[in-house]
Amino acid sequence: PLLAQAPVVGSSDPESLFTSKDPKLHANKQVVLHIMRDLLEANHWSDAPKWIAPEYVQHNPNIPSGLEPVMKFFGSRKPTPIPDRKSWRTPVVSVTATGDLVTVAFVREYDDPRKPGAKYTTTWFDMWRIRDGKAVEHWDPATIAPPAPAR
């Protein structure tokens, strides 16, 4: 029989993962902390120019490159208070930094197509290239969804 997976679990203190003893890696992780927490968690997209460069290159096939298109794509979401260090909605598993790259892995939950009503977890990632204190490039595993069936 098929064995059940071990569920993917996030950190109880995600902000603690955005630190490093290396000053450059710490600075890069802090940029990504603000992108994850202030922008993606709390929707404070008016602050995006503090953390994302105008020439931002986007490798997600659903979002155009550039700061302005990214702000337009996410900007209609209603801002909420910036969460404290332990109240994030996004369950962060790990934050890895090397050179100018910072990768955040986090839990994604989906409906289990084999068991109606059941869920399963897997891991998603976002990776950014940081230059001069701002994100200049982004990757994730996003794909283009097929069009909805005609009705």
**Overall pTM surpassing 0.75 (yes/no):** yes
How far apart (Å, rounded) are the C-alpha atoms in residues 80 and 149?
Answer: 34
pLDDT at 1: 47
Give the pLDDT confidence of 92-149 residue by residue, as tens digits: 999 999 999 999 999 999 999 988 998 999 999 999 999 999 999 999 999 998 888 8
Please report where in the chains the tokens 């950014």 appear, as a residue: 128
- What band does 3 get if pLDDT is binned at 50, 70 and 90? low
pLDDT at 4: 66
Please report where in the chains the tokens 């897997």 appear, as a residue: 122
Residues pairing with 134 in the sheet: 131
Amino acid at 133: G
pLDDT at 45: 96
Q: Is the pLDDT of residue 86 over 90?
A: no
What's the mean pLDDT in 7-25? 95
> And the tokens for 6?
């071990």
